[in-house]
Chain A
Amino acid sequence: GDSVTQMEGPVTLSEEAFLTINCTYTATGYPSLFWYVQYPGEGLQLLLKATKADDKGSNKGFEATYRKETTSFHLEKGSVQVSDSAVYFCALSDGQGAQKLVFGQGTRLTINP
Chain B
Amino acid sequence: DTGVSQDPRHKITKRGQNVTFRCDPISEHNRLYWYRQTLGQGPEFLTYFQNEAQLEKSRLLSDRFSAERPKGSFSTLEIQRTEQGDSAMYLCASSSGTEGKKMFFGSGTQLSVL
Instruction: Give the interface of A toward B (CB within 8 A).
Output: 4, 32, 36, 41-46, 49, 51, 89, 91, 93, 95, 97-106
Contacts and interface: CB of A to CB of B under 8 A. Distances in A.
B105 to A, nearest CB: 4
B55 A43 contact: no
A46 B41 contact: no
B26 to A, nearest CB: 12
B46 to A, nearest CB: 9
Interface string B28-71: 00010101000011111100100000011000000000000000
Contact of A104 (B33, B42, B104, B107): B42
A61 B33 CA distance: 29
Given A43-B108, A44-B43, A99 B102 contact: no
Interface residues of B, number: 28
Contacts of B111: none
B105 A45 contact: yes
B40 A105 contact: yes
B48 A93 contact: no
Interface stretch (B10-18, B75-83, B93-101): B93-101
A103 B44 contact: yes
A46 B33 CA distance: 15
B56 A95 contact: no
Nearest to B101: A99
A100 B42 contact: no
B103 interface: yes
A100 B100 contact: no
Nearest to B42: A103
